[in-house]
Structure 1
């Protein structure tokens, strides 16, 4: 039976599949189609110029072995690059090979055929000529480790970030997921890792991208029918940083693409860094297969900074800006703005600006005025401690009793209500809430929230408890 392009390529694929990982086979060989067999030359169709270059760089020896096994020592492989927007899909021409590459390509007996005379790889950043690709990392140079103040609230996340920056892709922290409430430094840490990697490993490709921007790029790639180029572009990144990954919730198509990109990067020893406003266990409408991968590495939480850390943040900011400020004013700011770092630094900047514009000294009186106006403009954030106090007072309990291990019904319900309102009114994770309310785990908090939701629907007295406490918290 005479050989056909299809039969030869099928046998080649069987050989290739036995010699590489299943994921690599699906990513790089399943999309290839056999086109033509003429003499000792097999033509195969690949999705893009980048696809061809990746095969040449990583799998040329394997392809040569497979083809020689099927056709013989004089076997030649011709790549036909599919260009989606070319009207005449049968037209092809032979691309000239640069002299610097001729000896390498000739030794492999490879020619290139393409369907467009000036093929340009379409990717999210519109960069032609992927071989000499230089990607703008999109990093903010102001967000280095030197300007990130370490404290008890962020020590794990900062230490893990430093470890990743020193050895990207070479630690067990892959992916590194940094999560926590608004303004606690997630984005700062993510940029710091990227900047440190670029400093220590100039040859590594680092890219920071928001999940929202990533989603927009994916939608655009689907619209322009160049989704393969979009995927292949991200698969060449050495350190991929995706900010606010929770924003992929409900976006199934984008989640599917990110799943394949993540797998490829992880299996090839590349580093993935993610930030989120919540822990993986709290993310809604994210596919389980993706959530399971988020848990492969380390999830490090950023908590609200304690007083000592807030003081250090102010002092560090003043030192970097070359500004002196009375110690009593520094203490006043640190004691009165507790919610997050962003608000703390914002109030500090406002205070300096007021002092400069009014040509007056920085004083406690001016600080009181600025903080009063600043906190009034931003919604006051209720703390877990405050919620526990309000709930305990409502049921005439001590907070220590509410946090205890007793299973008395009235105390259990009070504890569950404290957990319910902590989840509803704060940005803390289930883990952080459980830790502060009697050292419970996240599953206990999740169960408490579901119980409160159910009891509100079936028990009128319990519903009144919820309404009364809600009113007291909003008035406080």
Structure 2
């Protein structure tokens, strides 16, 4: 029977498969294609230079043993690296690396095309030129579960985060999408999950990255003709955390590459954690196939914290900073700053600073001055409660009437306007808006928004309602 490149490689694979983890075999050996056999030199094609570097770094010994077993002591391995060239040249080039002799790997002569004279290491998180495949997690250890206080507004998201941290890739929460408005703790929770996983599973590769940075890395990879390297780098991550995934809106190339990375990770039991300022149903300019994958796992909303949670957050912050403050002042700050956690903590820091710098005692009067200035100088995030109050006051009805089941035309229109402005001025999901305005579903909110748009262009009186309420909300 004639010996072919395929038969030699198949025998090597049998040996390799018996000696490494199934997941590693699937990731690093299944994509390899045997190309030709010339004497005792076997040529194999690998998808990228990063792929080749990883093989040489981690599997050179097993490659040497398997190949020597098949072709004898003079065995050599020739890598053919499939290069992506944006100028249309799809021809691969050959790198001759005698894997059977490790010392020769250190002083390799590589025939690299002129348009790629300075290949950089493909790990986007290390300094180019330094041969280092260690991947830093980019996590902030200060963001932990211990200082992410639980309340009704975040219980589902926090519990799901703890479940994922205990068993990454092994729960039905994959992907875990955490969404909500500005300053509610999405980034904090995402980091906390990653920090907990690193603590429990130090051998796992965890990576946190913003969608903006991911996009920039992808653009750089395309410019340098190493899109494959970019993909393979992200495919080796065990837990990928992408912050502000809504930033991918309208970026079709980045969405496409993320789609392939997501599929690979999900199929291989790796954990994906995403954060967004809106629910998948409300995301604009994101491909449908990607949105459908966001919905595979769990979408957990972070809502504005209630009064009790706000008080707990403030007390925890003061305890961590070693500051004592009377309960009446804490309650006052918590009652008057409702929009988000970031503003809440900002107000208490300002209060402590004013007291310290001006050597004034922290009193309720000082708290009033600081909170008033802080709220005034901070762009107010209009809440759904506030919108309902403005609309019900405008139509001279109470909020219970606005939320009631009645089908009276003027009440229905008022309710539809409240839903319309809630969608326009808040980052709450359609389901959340419906739930807070009369326990309706997201389809009702969608219908309300369309109705308001239609009536605004056909009914002069209704158009005036919209204009008047818009002015009241912008005051």
Q: Cα gap change, 1:419/1:322 in structure 2, threshold over 3 Å: closer, same or farther?
A: same
Gap regions ≥5 residues in structure 2 = 18-23
Distance 1:93 1:78 in 2: 5
Partner of 2:206: 206
Distance 2:169 2:54 in 1: 20
Q: Does the 8 A contact of 1:206 with 1:239 survive in 2?
A: yes
Alpha-carbon distance, 1:207 to partner: 0.7
Matches within 5 A, 1:146-165: 146-165=146-165
Q: Cα gap change, 1:440/1:130 in structure 2, threshold over 3 Å: closer, same or farther?
A: farther
Q: Cα gap change, 1:3/1:454 in structure 2, threshold over 3 Å: closer, same or farther?
A: farther
Partner of 1:421: 421
Partner of 1:343: 343
Matches within 5 A, 1:76-225: 78-81=78-81, 92-95=95-98, 115=111, 121-126=121-126, 133-225=133-225
Distance 1:455 1:349 in 2: 47
User: TM-score normalised to the size of structure 2?
Assistant: 0.84
Partner of 2:21: none
Question: Helix, strand or coil for the counterpart of 2:139?
Answer: coil
Alpha-carbon distance, 1:225 to partner: 0.7
Distance 2:209 2:100 in 1: 34
Question: Helix, strand or coil for the counterpart of 2:427?
Answer: coil
Matches within 5 A, 1:36-51: 36-39=36-39, 42-51=42-51
Alpha-carbon distance, 1:3 to partner: 10
Distance 1:101 1:317 in 2: 58
Partner of 1:405: 405
Q: Does the 8 A contact of 1:83 with 1:115 survive in 2?
A: no
Aligned residues: 449
Alpha-carbon distance, 1:80 to partner: 2.3
| 1:202-260 residue CA offsets vs partner (Å, 9 max, x unmatched) | 11111110000000000000001111111111111111110000000000000001011
| 1:362-421 residue CA offsets vs partner (Å, 9 max, x unmatched) | 111111111111111112222212222222232233322221222232222111101001
Question: Helix, strand or coil for the counterpart of 1:214?
Answer: helix
Alpha-carbon distance, 1:318 to partner: 0.4
Bigger mean CA offset, 24-33 vs 457-466: 24-33
Q: Does the 8 A contact of 1:124 with 1:221 survive in 2?
A: no
Residue 458 in 1 paired to residue 458 in 2?
yes
Question: Helix, strand or coil for the counterpart of 2:146?
Answer: helix
Question: Helix, strand or coil for the counterpart of 1:272?
Answer: strand
Distance 1:129 1:32 in 2: 26
User: TM-score normalised to the size of structure 1?
Assistant: 0.83
Partner of 1:259: 259
Gap regions ≥5 residues in structure 1 = 103-111
Distance 1:304 1:217 in 2: 33
Q: Cα gap change, 1:259/1:355 in structure 2, threshold over 3 Å: closer, same or farther?
A: same
Matches within 5 A, 1:25-64: 35-39=35-39, 42-52=42-52
Q: Cα gap change, 1:304/1:42 in structure 2, threshold over 3 Å: closer, same or farther?
A: same
Partner of 1:319: 319
| 1:153-208 residue CA offsets vs partner (Å, 9 max, x unmatched) | 00111111011111111111111110000000000000001111111111111111
Alpha-carbon distance, 1:43 to partner: 1.8
Distance 1:44 1:115 in 2: 16
Q: Cα gap change, 1:415/1:25 in structure 2, threshold over 3 Å: closer, same or farther?
A: farther
Distance 1:407 1:286 in 2: 36
Alpha-carbon distance, 1:52 to partner: 3.6
Q: Cα gap change, 1:45/1:308 in structure 2, threshold over 3 Å: closer, same or farther?
A: same
Partner of 1:287: 287
Superposition CA RMSD, Å: 3.9
Q: Does the 8 A contact of 1:95 with 1:114 survive in 2?
A: no
Residue 357 in 1 paired to residue 357 in 2?
yes
Q: Does the 8 A contact of 1:166 with 1:197 survive in 2?
A: yes
Partner of 1:229: 229
Partner of 1:107: none
